[in-house]
Amino acid sequence: MRAVDHHCHPLQRTAALEANEFRGCFTEATDPRVLAAHIPNTPLYRLLLRRLAPVFGCQPTEAAILTARRMLEPARYARELMAQTCTEMLLLDTGFAGRDTMTLEEHGEVLAMGIREIVRLETLAESLVARCRRPEDWLDQVRVGLGLAVSAGAVAVKTIVAYRASLRLRWPDHRQGRAEDAALRRSLRTGDPAARARVSGDALCHALVFVAAEECVRLGVPLQVHCGMGDTDEDLAESSPTGLRPLLVHERFSDLKLVLLHCYPFHREAAYLCSVHAGVYMDLSLAVWMAASDGARAMHAVVGLGLFGAAALLVEPAGDHLVRHRLRDAQLGQRLDLVRHDLVAGRLDRHEDLLDGRASPSWCGCHLVQDDTGARSPPHLCTGS
């Protein structure tokens, strides 16, 4: 089965990483004490060492694998590891990038597969702050920017509002929005001239999400929303997808395709939203592989609840590095097989129906993906890295 990675981050131009940098690819922790003392002892990390050792032809130890990685030319490393997965296309969140990450064009050249862009809403919006004098003008420019990006080939918009504000969306308070805008501009005037604006606060961030949702409807692309598990920048208590209710019930968003990214530990809440609202899809990314046995239970819980068809389920490992694709293929297949077995054993479904493509996980935006000839691609298993 071919796979579309519906949400991934740019690859790095170098394969050389120090131990804590490598460990940091497989956790949301950033504290060096956690990286040094705890990550090497997690089931996920021990599993990836065992899985990577045959790829490099070395011992399944961290030191041996890091040494082997340093010896490979980065482009070759990326190409060879990706070739061992069933990934056919990457949808790339270009807003999460640093000085040493590949560009969109470099990904296409190095990996020799389809590459499409996902626009990160906050990154686009922050690049436009200095050009506009009023928050209303700023939001108008965001609309223009999203339209230009989709015209240039972007296939989705992603928001990380949960990292900047509460995910409990509220209709904009214009007075509070102007106050937050004024504070943002003061910080730009008094801070580091080279620093990028950082949009935060409920009023500004929620206004931005509503504008993006309207534009996604108009442009016919999905809106991806990070919810649930994340790093320490996020307040987990404020990141439940149930806070997205205004996007689900207001008539102006009735045609919105909403993709709930990650979800764990709010996977049951996300499953409920998929069951009662058209156009809502969820993925289990971090839970499927990072949460080890609880990730398997999360998938069992979501599909086994029977609240919605599997066509609304997206699965991705949500990583920044190639080894997550490698782990995805083995773990995803095993866990989907376990779910199918449980449903059949419990007489909740039939084996032949589960093998029908209509009952398989798929990418909600697959109708947006076109090949270079303009032909529409067939449905894919939606995965990610």
The pLDDT of residue 336 is 52
- Answer whether 295's CB lies under 8 Å from 363's CB: no
Ramachandran category for residue 192: left, alpha or beta (phi over 0 → left; psi -120 to 50 → alpha): beta
- Answer whether 270's CB lies under 8 Å from 307's CB: no
Strand ranges of the sheet holding 87-93, from the earlier edge strand across to the other edge:
313-314, 280-283, 258-262, 223-227, 156-159, 114-120, 87-93, 3-8, 381-383
E strand or H helix at 77? helix 74-83
Radius of gyration of the chain measured on its C-alpha atoms: 21
- Answer whether 253's CB lies under 8 Å from 178's CB: no
How wide is the angle at C-alpha 215 spanned by C-alphas 211 and 219, nearest 5°?
A: 175
The pLDDT of residue 332 is 52
Distance CA 322, CA 9 (A): 10
Distance CA 308, CA 313 (A): 9
CA dihedral for 42, 47, 49, 50, sign (positive or negative): positive
Question: Which residues lie across from 226 on neighbouring strands?
Answer: 261
Residues with Cβ within 8 Å of 140's Cβ and at least 6 positions away in sequence, in order, are none
Helix residue ranges, H only, 153-282: 174-190, 202-219, 245-249, 267-276
Domains and CATH numbers, the chain: 3-383 (3.20.20.140)
The pLDDT of residue 301 is 64
- Answer whether 137's CB lies under 8 Å from 177's CB: no
- Answer whether 142's CB lies under 8 Å from 125's CB: yes
Q: Count how many Cα atoms sit within 13 Å of the Cα of residue 53 in the half-sphere of its side chain.
A: 12
The pLDDT of residue 383 is 46
Distance CA 146, CA 219 (A): 9
Note down pLDDT in tens along the chain; length 385 residues. Answer: 567 888 888 888 877 789 999 999 888 889 999 999 999 998 888 888 998 899 889 999 999 999 998 888 888 888 888 888 778 889 999 888 778 888 899 998 888 889 999 999 999 999 999 889 899 999 999 999 999 999 999 999 999 999 999 999 999 888 999 999 888 888 888 777 666 789 999 999 999 999 999 999 999 999 999 999 888 889 999 999 999 999 999 999 999 999 999 888 898 899 889 889 999 998 876 666 666 566 666 666 665 555 555 555 565 543 334 554 444 444 555 555 554 555 455 544 444 444 444 444 433 333 233 333 333 333 333 444 4
The pLDDT of residue 215 is 98
- Answer whether 281's CB lies under 8 Å from 257's CB: yes
Distance CA 69, CA 385 (A): 19
